[in-house]
Structure 1
Amino acid sequence: MDPFSAEGELLNLHNAFFQGQYDKVVEFDTKPLSDSNQLAARVFQLRARIALGECEEVLAELEGEDEPELAAVKAFAKFNTEELEAAVEDIEEVVKASPDNATVQVIGGIMLQRAGKTDEALALLSRHQGSLEAVAIIVQIRLAQNRTDLAVKEVSAAKKWAQDSLVVNLAEAWVGLRVGGEKYQQSYYVFEELAQAPSTSSTMSLVSQAVSEIHLGRLPEAEVALQQALEKDKEDVAALANKVVLTALTGGDTTADLSALEAQDPSHPMVLDIAEKSELFDKAASKYASKAAA
């Protein structure tokens, strides 16, 4: 097979993964790929299965596998079965043994960040040699740190060597939502294009489009996009979380939306944050209640 054609097929798989089209990734025919691309394709398919909730099946399949890439995927699957401490210990061992492996860097970076080890995650990811996914994760971490300046710098550097990459375009759109102003509209165009194309439409692209619409003040349009996302996957956590935000912005009762989110992901940051603020409010209110009773 033409090696350039095989490389193009791997790129299609790569793009489908980053668009959240996990079913499509799992069903992808990897037979035409060259031997050198087979492992990369398998890693994406295994990660897609983890995203679809098949963690136990992935762990069973990888029993006895010792390649660094597969050891990292195994740790990630374990991490998603709530064996957090053991999984983090596993990935730290894999990182120690293969710190320059691109897959280890990406999965290790994701896991370390989620485990609260941000400095370690950034140190590992910064070792990358042209990994677009590593760039995307670094951008997400910087945005989570409210270091938009560093996120902008990361995207600008990546655009010099990967101008037309889908991943870089997505990262730039994420940053645009934080920068604001005219960047809101530019980000919207990126997400709209993905959401409208039948071959790339996914809950991820629809939710991203909805977030852009919210920032632009187009709440009815955001509601339509979120409804489409939930029709595709009624349990999509990102769609549910943004539904809570949209309902609040439109003056509605968020109780049902928040309950749906909590049922799907009890440890979601929004659920935990609201619970914490509710507890603080109750404590403050109890002080005034005692004074009023007196």
Structure 2
Amino acid sequence: MDPFSAEGELLNLHNYFHQGQFQQVIDFDTTDLSPENATPARVLSLRAQIALGQAEDVIADVQGEQEPELVAVGALAELAAENEVKAVKIAEKLAQESADNSVVQVLAGTVLQAAGKSEEALALLSQHQGNLEAVALIVQIHLQQNRTDLAIKEVQAARRWAQDSLLVNLAESWVGMRVGGEKYQQAFYVFEELAQAPATSSTQSLVSQAVAEIHLGRSEEAEAALEQALTKDPKSADIIANSIVLNFIAGKDAKELISSLSNVAPNHHYLQDLQEKSALFDKAATKYSAKVA
């Protein structure tokens, strides 16, 4: 295969992955790729399997592999399989031994951040050399830290050397959703374009579009996008969680959706937060008692 063609195919594979087209990544024919491109393609395919809930299969697939990229995939799969201690142990070892590897930076960084080790994750990710996935993850971490200022700086810096990148556009949209105002509309346009294009439409794009619609006060449009996403993937925890939020905003009963989320992802952060807030409310309520004349 022509090297320029192979590079283009790999770029397409990356775009499919970041657009949430995970099955297309898995089904992608890699037989004609060079050995140099075969490993990155395999890594993306394995990551797509993890995203589709096939973590145990991926763990079995990479068992015994020595390449840092595949060991890093194993760490991510262990995290998805709720083996966090093992995942962190692998990630920290990789961070010490293969910190200059772009795949290690992103996947080990993801594991460390998920385990609450933000500073370790940022220290690893900051060693990247033009790794847009690392940039995107750094932006996400800063947003989780409520450091929108640092997220903005990261996006602005990346924009100077990756002007038309899908990941930069997405990262800029994530920041826009935090900044608000006219940035909501700008972010909506990016998500809408991805959601409506037949070649790139995915549940992730639809959910992002719906969240932007919610911020823009367009509840009916947000509901339509989430219903479309649920039709494609009725067991997606993130779609269900966002549907719950929309129901509360619209004043609708969300008990059935909460029950669905509990069945699909009992440890989902939304449920944990809801339980925490309910406990705090009950505790505060005990300080007050009804006074009967």
TM surpasses 0.5: yes
Q: Name 2:145's counterpart in structure 1.
A: 145
1:288 partnered with 2:257: no
Secondary structure in 2 matching 1:130: coil
2:17 maps to 1:17: yes
- The residue aligned with 1:26 is 26
Runs in 1 of length 4+ with deviation above 3 angstroms? 291-294
SS of the equivalent of 1:200 reads coil
Query: Which segments of 5 or more consecutive residues in structure 2 lack a partner in the other structure?
Result: none
Q: Quote the Cα distance in structure 2 between the aligned partners of 1:247 and 1:2.
A: 52
In structure 2, what is the equivalent of residue 193 of structure 1?
A: 193
DSSP-derived class of the 2:124 partner: helix
Q: 1:226 matched to which residue of 2?
A: 226
Q: For residues 33 and 162 of structure 2, what CA distance do their matches in structure 1 show?
A: 23
Structure-2 residue corresponding to 1:6: 6
User: 1:72 maps to which residue?
Assistant: 72
Structure-2 separation of matches of 1:124 and 1:286? 46
Partner amino acid, structure 1, of 2:57 = E
Look up the equivalent residue of 1:35 and give its one-letter code.
P
Q: Distance in 2 between matches of 1:203 and 1:92?
A: 32
TM-score (norm 1): 0.97
Q: What pairs with 1:103-118 in structure 2 (closer than 5 Å)?
A: 103-118=103-118
Residues 1:170 and 2:159 are matched in the alignment: no
**Residue equivalent to 2:158:** 158
CA RMSD after TM alignment? 1.3
Of 78-87 and 65-74, more deviation after overlay is shown by 78-87
Tell me the percent identity: 61
Say if 1:293 and 1:120 are closer, same or farther in 2 by CA, change over 3 A: farther
Aligned mates of 2:282, 2:116 — CA distance in 1: 29
2:274 alignment partner AA: I
* Alignment-mate amino acid for residue 234 of structure 1: P
Q: CA deviation at 1:102?
A: 0.5
SS in 2 for 1:160: helix
* 1:147-176 CA-partner distances (Å, limit 9, x unpaired): 111111100000111010001101011111
In the alignment, residue 131 of structure 1 is paired with which amino acid? N
What is the CA-CA distance between 1:261 and the residue it aligns to? 1.7
1:234 shift after superposition: 0.5
Q: Secondary structure in 2 aligned to 1:275? A: helix
Aligned with 1:13: secondary structure?
helix
CA distance in 2, matches of 1:8, 1:84: 35
Deviation of 1:95 after TM superposition, in Å, equals 1.7
Deviation at 1:293, TM superposition (A): 7.8
1:119 equivalent to 2:119? Answer: yes
Letter in 2 for 1:238: D
Q: Which runs of 5+ in 1 are unaligned?
A: none
Structure 2 counterparts to residues 68-107 of structure 1, below 5 A: 68-107=68-107
SS at match of 2:240: helix
